[in-house]
């Protein structure tokens, strides 16, 4: 009788017993699914705000007509040819940078990793400058492929140098190689920019970071690459979970560490390369968003990556909308707004050490 009482007692069925573990897992999964649903709603609302709010005030019924029943009016052209493509670019860039930031911090084990740490931004910048300086390219459609190729080559160079030696690529070697390559590319870019006024003007506009485009044809050109990058990022989630326990543990669990890192670096290069090529370097998204997502999901990259992608898309759109509001009828570029909002926010994150420890 005493044994039966002991088994049925509250102490025996506490939160640490196996009988409650499945319930706790189901509750955690439910909360995360709810979080995904909330983030999707926030992203949809951000898209609506991006279409409705602009330098010119357009009534809501005209916005509706411009989207679903256009008649060729000026408002229809603004909605369909300016605001909708701008919104699409904002979503694509935000999702790409959010995912890439989480991948970078996971593979480099560096809590302040951003697109510049692997030479991606600097490679794209140098390629854009060469396109303008050498070939006289001045349009987004003209130098988008130069930027994309430069971003990929910069990432490949960092990975190749970081892979030298017996140990192969490690978080330390990748970070060191990225820092060295980034400074070298930045120095070459500065040298070219200072020698030509046209190159400086084009580079200066691109460097600010903006999702405002006047040629929507660039979107379908970059979209397939970004889709590939998203697939690589999500497929890398289980490997990142294993690598967070250490490379030896990951190998013992059957993961091929070298291939996992190659897939991760490829995903980062494609995501950031596509984003940087189409809208220039946008800072703080890949730096801050993974930390915020980690606060809600923990260290499980199967959930962290989707959270980071959705948060990144919403953050870019909301920052862009805020930039249109604070300086109407003009606007502040999204790269500037994210720097103004992101810098103090990141300082607050750094002060809470447990949120940036990887």
Q: Which domains, from first to last, does the chain contain? A: 23-355 (1.10.3470.10)
pLDDT tops 90 at residue 317: yes
DSSP secondary structure string for all residues of 59-111: -HHHHHHHHHS--S-HHHHIIIIIIHHHHHHHHHHHHHHHHHHHHHHHHH--T
What pLDDT score was predicted for residue 167? Answer: 65
3-state secondary structure 205-252: HHHHCCCCCCCCCHHHHHHHHHHHHHHHHHHCHHHHHHHCCCHHHHHH
How far, in Å, CA of 85 to CA of 98, rounded? 20
Tokens of 70: 């256009």
Which band of pLDDT confidence, cut at 50, 70 and 90, is reported for residue 352?
low
Longest dimension (CA), the chain: 92
Mean pLDDT across the chain, nearest whole number?
Answer: 83
How far, in Å, CA of 185 to CA of 167, rounded? 26
Determine the Cα angle at 305 with ends 301 and 310, to 5°.
155
More confident residue, 347 or 268: 268
What pLDDT score was predicted for residue 134? Answer: 86
pLDDT tops 70 at residue 136: yes
Q: How many CB atoms lie within 10 A of CB 137?
A: 18
H/E element, 358: none
Q: Which of 45-54, 106-115, 199-208, 321-330 has the highest mean pLDDT?
A: 45-54
What pLDDT score was predicted for residue 244? Answer: 82
What pLDDT score was predicted for residue 33? Answer: 92
Percent of the chain clearing pLDDT 70 (strictly above)? 90
Contacts of 224 (CB under 8 A, 6+ apart): none
How far, in Å, CA of 86 to CA of 78, rounded? 11
Quick one: DSSP state of residue 298?
T
Q: Which of 336, 330, 329, 284 is nearest to 311 (CA)?
A: 284
Burial class (CB in 10 A: 0-12, 13-18, 19+), 167: exposed
Average pLDDT of the residues in 257-280: 85
What pLDDT score was predicted for residue 4? Answer: 42
Give the predicted TM-score (pTM) of the model. 0.86
How far, in Å, CA of 67 to CA of 81, rounded? 10
């Amino acid at each position: 009788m005493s044994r039966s009482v002991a088994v049925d007692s509250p102490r025996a069925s506490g939160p640490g017993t196996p009988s409650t573990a499945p319930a706790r897992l189901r509750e955690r999964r439910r909360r995360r699914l709810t979080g995904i649903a909330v983030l999707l709603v926030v992203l949809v609302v951000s898209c609506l705000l991006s279409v409705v709010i602009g330098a010119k005030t357009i009534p809501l019924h005209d916005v509706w007509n411009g989207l679903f029943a256009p008649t060729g009016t000026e408002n229809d052209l603004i909605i369909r040819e300016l605001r909708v493509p701008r919104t699409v670019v904002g979503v694509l860039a935000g999702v790409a940078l959010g995912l890439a930031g989480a991948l970078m911090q996971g593979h480099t084990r560096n809590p302040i990793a951003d697109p510049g740490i692997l030479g991606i931004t600097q490679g794209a910048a140098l390629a854009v400058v060469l396109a303008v300086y050498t070939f006289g390219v001045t349009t987004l459609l003209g130098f988008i492929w130069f930027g994309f190729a430069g971003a990929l080559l910069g990432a490949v160079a960092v990975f190749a140098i970081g892979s030298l030696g017996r140990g192969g690529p490690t978080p330390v070697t990748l970070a060191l190689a990225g820092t060295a390559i980034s400074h070298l590319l930045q120095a070459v870019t500065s040298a070219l920019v200072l020698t030509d006024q046209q190159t400086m003007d084009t580079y200066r506009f691109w460097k600010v970071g903006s999702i405002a485009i006047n040629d929507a044809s660039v979107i379908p050109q970059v979209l397939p690459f970004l889709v590939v990058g998203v697939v690589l990022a999500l497929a890398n989630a289980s490997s990142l979970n294993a690598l967070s326990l250490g490379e030896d543990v990951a190998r013992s669990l059957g993961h091929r560490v070298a291939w996992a890192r190659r897939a991760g670096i490829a995903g980062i290069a494609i995501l950031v390369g596509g984003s940087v090529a189409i809208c220039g370097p946008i800072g703080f998204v890949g730096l801050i968003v993974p930390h915020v997502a980690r606060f809600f999901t923990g260290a499980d990259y199967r959930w962290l990556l989707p959270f980071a992608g959705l948060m990144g898309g919403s953050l870019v759109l909301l920052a862009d909308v805020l930039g249109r509001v604070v300086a109407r009828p003009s606007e502040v570029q999204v790269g500037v707004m994210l720097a103004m909002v992101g810098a103090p926010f990141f300082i607050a994150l750094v002060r809470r050490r447990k949120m940036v420890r990887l």
